[in-house]
Chain A
Amino acid sequence: MTNMNPYVPFASEILDVIKHTGKEYTFRMAFKGEVKPGQFFEVSIPKFGEAPISVSGIGDGFVDLTIRKVGRVTNEVFEKYKGQNLLLRGPYGNGFDVDLYKDSEVVVVAGGTGVSPVRGVIQALSEMPDAQDKYVIAGFRSPDDMLFRDDLKAWDEKLKLTLTVDGAPEGYTGNIGLVTKYIEGLPLRDPANAKAVVVGPPPMMKFTIIELQKKGFKDSNITVSHERKMCCGLGKCGHCRVNDTYICLDGPVFNYEFAKNFVD
């Protein structure tokens, strides 16, 4: 019976820990099975709780979970090290369909930890033959908050990356400004048929979409991923519901044409 119980987590070995910042690590977890970028796992720490963490990378026999240390559960996760196990449930949710982004101009706008769920998407874009038509605007709060530094470097060589920070100490030479600032100037040939992926904190998503619409993007060409409180991942606990949609079941990835009707 026990293995039929979807609330029972399975043990997964920590294959590696990649430290991005003091409070953001990627845990490379042993996992065999089907999983898509944008899906999420419940990381389950007995006696501390569970936290929904999106898949930030997928490889042969592993998934990457990029975790921000912000609470009871994630504090505990940060105590773990390579070789130990974490308990997981999942993957849950629908995830991104990367094939959608072949053969067209694509803009990915991601803010902060919102980069995690689209990391797999960006990776795929960077490997596409028309990678030069793929634009990524990644924003972080400050230079110290940047995630996936190595990836960023690698992507920068393959596709068109704009890296920006909300603020930086004096002497910082990179871009300073919100991600929304860089949309207007994107040298797109055909914005009406270009595709966009937007993931990040709710205000960032809202204003990014406004900029994309101004630029000429169709709502139906915009994909978003939503973050909500997801206790169960199974459509039972109710916390993630918006309108008649359960983010954990039907999302977290949505076409904006649909998601624009969400009202919290």
Chain B
Amino acid sequence: MGYVLTKAGFAEVIASLLEEYRIFAPVRKVGAGRFTDVDAVIYDEIRSADEIELEAKSDYASKEFLTPLSETLFYFTENEVKESDFDGRPVLVFGRSCDLHSLKRLDQIYLENGLAKDPFYKRRRDLIKCVLIGCGHSYDNCFCVSMDSNKCEDGYVFSVDLIDGKIHSNILDESFDKAFSAVSGSEKKDVIPRFVTENDVKVEIPEEVPQGIIKSELWDEYTTRCINCGRCNFVCPTCTCYTMQDVFYSDNGRVGERRRVGASCMVDGYTDVAGGGQYRRKNGERMRFKVLHKISDFKKRFGYQMCVGCGRCDDICPEYISFSNIINKVNAASKEVKS
């Protein structure tokens, strides 16, 4: 069951949902791009429907509500440790099929890897419901079809497709029906969210990446091409690594906080151990470590591929390094390694 409604009608839906939910969605930030007068599409909490960017693929992924780039976990006073406060209102997170598929990967690490569930993740995870943004077409660098994350049958409460100025929504969670039916002029209709069935970019991943690939020369060029900025990790919907950060306030050293911030396996310091030890000094080694995690190591541990094929890493790389192209290089090299 679904609805077709005008943008104004959709704005009413969002306005009524905002009474109950906080809504996080891709927002076009004018001029916030890397270069002058270039926009960036970044997740943010919205106050009205017109803030939601439904057309462009977001530069940064939907994970930012669940795993903020910087989040205070504890406050410390002299002898007390206090968990940070938390807004417990329910949350709607907009995302495309790739984003929805990434949730399983985030859950895998934060809730399923090891015995402990990460409570700071869980308290956010428990609040969210997803809204699917349909994909009318494949975007630059997308290879979701190859990664089998181009479609989702469930995992969202309703979908949103902007087609010729009208919003088409499929309602999966009936509790959201009333927000749509209450809008005057909304047309009840069967709606199927749009999914991409073919991408320009295709990758092939060997069923099992041979161990020998580690020694392949294919990684070497990235030692000089990659600038280890970590953008590929920060935009990735499936990257979960973080670093703990303890601070004391400069005007009163007896008070401070512990926070965690997003970490990148490409950036210096990721492997540093006490006393100066360091692993993977070369950027080519870091590239290998990252790529093999996405298309092999994660799968070995959890049984399915980590990468969802959103292509954001390719979109953002300032050095024009194509992750999908590396996958295909790995595929080709794997055949050689085997033979």
Q: Tell me which residues across on chain A come within 8 A of B29, comparing CB atoms.
A: none
B46 within 8 A of A: no
B240 touches A70 (CB 8 A): no
B116 touches A238 (CB 8 A): no
Residues of B within 8 A of A (CB): 73-74, 76, 81, 83, 109-110, 113-114, 116, 118-121, 211, 214, 240-248, 253, 255-258, 260, 263, 265, 270-277, 279-280, 285, 289, 292-293, 296-298, 300-301
Which of these, A232, A238, A264, contacts B279 with CB under 8 Å? A264
Extra pairs beyond A47-B257, A244-B301, A264-B279 (13, CB < 8 Å) = A5-B119, A45-B246, A47-B248, A47-B253, A227-B277, A228-B273, A228-B279, A229-B273, A244-B297, A244-B298, A246-B113, A246-B114, A264-B289
B114 touches A234 (CB 8 A): yes
CB within 8 Å for A238 and B263 given contacts A49-B244, A74-B274: yes
Bound: A248/B118 CA distance, A = 15
Closest to B300 in A: A244
A70 touches B241 (CB 8 A): no
How does the 8 Å CB contact mask read for A202-236 relative to B, with 1 for contact and 0 for none? 10000000000000000000000001110110111
A4 within 8 A of B: yes
A59 within 8 A of B: no
A235 touches B271 (CB 8 A): no
CB within 8 Å for A238 and B81 given contacts A47-B76, A232-B244: no
Q: Tell me which residues across on chain A come within 8 A of B74, comparing CB atoms.
A: 7-8, 46
A227 touches B273 (CB 8 A): yes
Q: Tell me which residues across on chain A come within 8 A of B240, comparing CB atoms.
A: 236, 238
Which of these, A5, A71, A241, contacts B83 with CB under 8 Å? A5
Q: Tell me which residues across on chain A come within 8 A of B245, comparing CB atoms.
A: 49
Q: Tell me which residues across on chain A come within 8 A of B279, comparing CB atoms.
A: 228, 264
A239 touches B277 (CB 8 A): no
Find residues 81-99 in chain A having any chain B CB closer than 8 Å to their own CB.
Answer: 87
28 A-B residue pairs with CB within 8 Å: A5-B83, A6-B116, A6-B118, A7-B73, A7-B74, A7-B120, A8-B74, A9-B81, A46-B74, A47-B76, A48-B248, A49-B246, A202-B277, A228-B271, A228-B279, A232-B244, A234-B118, A235-B114, A236-B109, A236-B113, A236-B240, A238-B263, A239-B263, A239-B271, A241-B293, A243-B292, A244-B300, A248-B114
Bound: A241/B247 CA distance, A = 26
A46 touches B114 (CB 8 A): no
Q: Residues of A within 8 Å of B, CB-based: how many?
A: 42
Give the number of residue pairs across the A-B interface with Cβ within 8 Å: 120
Closest to A71 in B: B274
Q: Is the interface of A mostly helix, strand, loop or mixed?
A: loop
Bound: A248/B248 CA distance, A = 27
Bound: A5/B83 CA distance, A = 9
Closest chain B CB from A34 CB (angstroms): 14
Closest to A228 in B: B273
Closest chain A CB from B304 CB (angstroms): 13
Bound: A37/B260 CA distance, A = 29
Closest to B254 in A: A47
Closest to B246 in A: A49
Closest chain A CB from B62 CB (angstroms): 19
Q: Which of A228, A235, A261 lies at the interface centre, i.e. has the most chain B CB atoms within 10 A of its CB?
A: A235
Q: Tell me which residues across on chain B come within 8 A of A263, comparing CB atoms.
A: 214
B113 touches A264 (CB 8 A): no
Q: Tell me which residues across on chain B come within 8 A of A248, comparing CB atoms.
A: 114
Bound: A15/B97 CA distance, A = 55
Closest chain A CB from B36 CB (angstroms): 35
Q: Tell me which residues across on chain A come within 8 A of B258, comparing CB atoms.
A: 46-47, 49
A133 within 8 A of B: no
Q: Tell me which residues across on chain B come within 8 A of A241, comparing CB atoms.
A: 293, 297
Bound: A2/B285 CA distance, A = 40
A231 touches B246 (CB 8 A): no
Closest to A236 in B: B118
CB within 8 Å for A238 and B109 given contacts A5-B83, A249-B114: yes
How does the 8 Å CB contact mask read for A27-61 relative to B, with 1 for contact and 0 for none? 00000000000000000011111110000000000
